[in-house]
Chains A and B, each alone.
Chain A
Amino acid sequence: DVKVTQSSRYLVKRTGEKVFLECVQDMDHENMFWYRQDPGLGLRLIYFSYDVKMKEKGDIPEGYSVSREKKERFSLILESASTNQTSMYLCASSFGTGLGHLAKNIQYFGAGTRLSVL
């Protein structure tokens, strides 16, 4: 079974704090993703990575950065947390762009981190 583990289920931080959200996958997946989920807005992609030390901006990267020093770990960083970053954060991973094998493109999600910024 694929396992994607997010370090915290619930987190409460103060405005201006630096926040680290950690995600680890155990299936040797190439691709890793960070989303946020807000009511009525669905899942929005923040950043993604196709390889170690590689990162690409998603649809809403402002106020966030990421780090991928090891293949299995993808970190989301809020440099200076703000109240509008209160949200559910979801990490996902997939094997890669398996054009010959569509199942490689299925993304597997962690349980999520509910972040509240006060």
Chain B
Amino acid sequence: DQQVKQNSPSLSVQEGRISILNCDYTNSMFDYFLWYKKYPAEGPTFLISISSIKDKNEDGRFTVFLNKSAKHLSLHIVPSQPGDSAVYFCAASALYGGSQGNLIFGKGTKLSVKP
């Protein structure tokens, strides 16, 4: 039973355009959400996060949107660059629900940005 779902295994975008990566979750106790980026043969690196008291968090070209009623979050990358080509993982945590910092990860979306 997947609590965090990334329904698109892959996404292809033209350089300079917007990339939108989506993530859905089922557990209403989740209150903190993170996005990680992973290049082949490397560990995931933290990209951006958002708490459940916000609906948007922005960091440079990266913006995460949270829609709590729909249990949906998305990562927008504008403009997309070839170096953004990687696998992106969505993760969630129930901090106030006693998860003690454990993260539940989605299966990832492979983003390809074409020059």
Interface size on A, residues (CB 8 A): 32
Q: Name A92-118 residues within 8 Å CB distance of B.
A: 92, 94, 96-97, 99, 102-112, 114
A residues contacting B by CB (< 8 A) are 4, 9, 31, 33, 35, 40-45, 48, 50, 58, 90, 92, 94, 96-97, 99, 102-112, 114
- Which residue of A92, A99, A109, A114 contacts B96 across the interface (Cβ within 8 Å)? A99
* Number of CB contacts from chain A to chain B under 8 A: 63
B residues contacting A by CB (< 8 A) are 9, 32, 34, 36, 41-46, 49, 51, 89, 93, 95-96, 100-103, 105-108
Instruction: With CB as the reference atom, state the residue of chain A lying closest to B106.
Output: A42
Contact, CB under 8 Å: B105 / A43 = yes
Contact, CB under 8 Å: A107 / B46 = yes
Contact, CB under 8 Å: A90 / B107 = no
